[in-house]
């Protein structure tokens, strides 16, 4: 795996970075890559409040903000941009205005690659809206100057529709850190972490494949 000098990650929620990209990002940062994370919302409408409960609707935004910073510290991301959008409303926001914000960050840091959700294959409406705005932002840049876009596709029919992923990264060597980055989002993942660890002890094939292999589609313009 070659080092990618500058990586811009654009996701809508705290914890999106941990599940499907943290291993790849950890490995890249260890090799010297600089990573910027543009997080559109604070995930303030998240359903989970900790297990047992330690958050409520009023306190959750600041808790999730701190959890995001803790996860980014584990991964090694020091440049975190909070875009201030409202959770679970991105599909209703002005797409071009969100694209304007993303475009300004792209122009500022001149990323080698951009990571976002594949439009239409993000499952959550916020995921798709964020991916669509990111693609719109980059489409404004002349073709020969655009960064490569690595897209996460998580729909069940992704292989049927898109084919096999273009990139597959083995993150076995940084699995402990990846799990720590997921664990940092305590309000959302505390119950999940125990399930993951149980499945790991059972060597559950599907869970181990999800944990150890991070895949991306390269967006075709």
- Which pLDDT belongs to residue 50? 66
- Which pLDDT belongs to residue 124? 96
Residue 3 pLDDT greater than 80, yes or no? yes
Q: What is the pLDDT of residues 48-73, one digit of tens each?
A: 776 766 677 788 999 999 999 999 99
8 Å CB contact between 44 and 64: yes
Side by side, the strands of the sheet bearing 213-218 are 79-82, 34-39, 6-11, 113-117, 148-152, 213-218, 167-170
Residue ranges and CATH numbers for the domains of the chain are 6-218 (3.40.50.10320)
| Residue ranges with strand state E in 130-194 | 148-152, 167-170
Q: What is the residue-averaged pLDDT of the chain?
A: 94
- Which pLDDT belongs to residue 52? 64
Residues with Cβ within 8 Å of residue 48, at least 6 apart in sequence: 187, 188, 189, 191
Please compute the mean of the pLDDT values over residues 35-42 and round it to a whole number: 98
- Which pLDDT belongs to residue 46? 79
Residue 44 pLDDT greater than 80, yes or no? yes
Please compute the mean of the pLDDT values over residues 194-221 and round it to a whole number: 87
- Which pLDDT belongs to residue 206? 82
Q: What is the pLDDT of residues 110-131, one digit of tens each?
A: 999 999 999 999 999 999 999 9
**Model's pTM, two decimal places?**
0.95
Q: Around Cβ 130, how many Cβ atoms within 10 Å?
A: 30
Helix H or strand E encompassing 113: strand 113-117
Share above pLDDT 70 across residues of the chain, in percent, rounded to a whole number: 98
Q: What is the pLDDT of residues 129-180, one digit of tens each?
A: 999 999 999 999 999 999 999 999 999 999 999 999 999 999 999 999 999 9
């Amino acid at each position: 795996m070659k080092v990618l000098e500058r990586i811009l990650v654009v996701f809508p929620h705290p914890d999106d970075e941990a599940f499907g990209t943290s291993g790849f990002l950890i490995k890249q940062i260890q090799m010297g890559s600089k990573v910027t994370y543009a997080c559109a919302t604070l995930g303030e409408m998240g359903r989970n409040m900790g297990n047992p409960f330690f958050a409520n609707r009023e306190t959750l935004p600041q808790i999730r903000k701190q959890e995001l910073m803790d996860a980014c510290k584990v991964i090694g991301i020091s440049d975190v941009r909070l875009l201030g959008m409202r959770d679970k409303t991105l599909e209703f926001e002005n797409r071009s205005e969100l694209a304007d914000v993303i475009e300004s960050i792209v122009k500022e840091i001149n990323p080698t690659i951009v990571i976002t959700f594949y439009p239409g294959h993000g499952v959550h409406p916020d995921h798709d809206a964020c991916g669509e705005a990111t693609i719109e932002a980059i489409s404004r840049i002349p073709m020969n100057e655009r960064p490569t876009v690595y897209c996460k596709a998580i729909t069940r029919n992704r292989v049927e529709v898109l084919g096999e992923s273009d990139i597959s990264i083995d993150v076995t060597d940084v699995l402990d850190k990846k799990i720590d980055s997921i664990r940092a989002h305590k309000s959302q993942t505390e119950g999940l972490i125990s399930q993951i660890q149980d499945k790991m002890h059972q060597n559950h094939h599907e869970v181990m494949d999800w944990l150890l292999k991070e895949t991306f589609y390269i967006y075709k313009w």
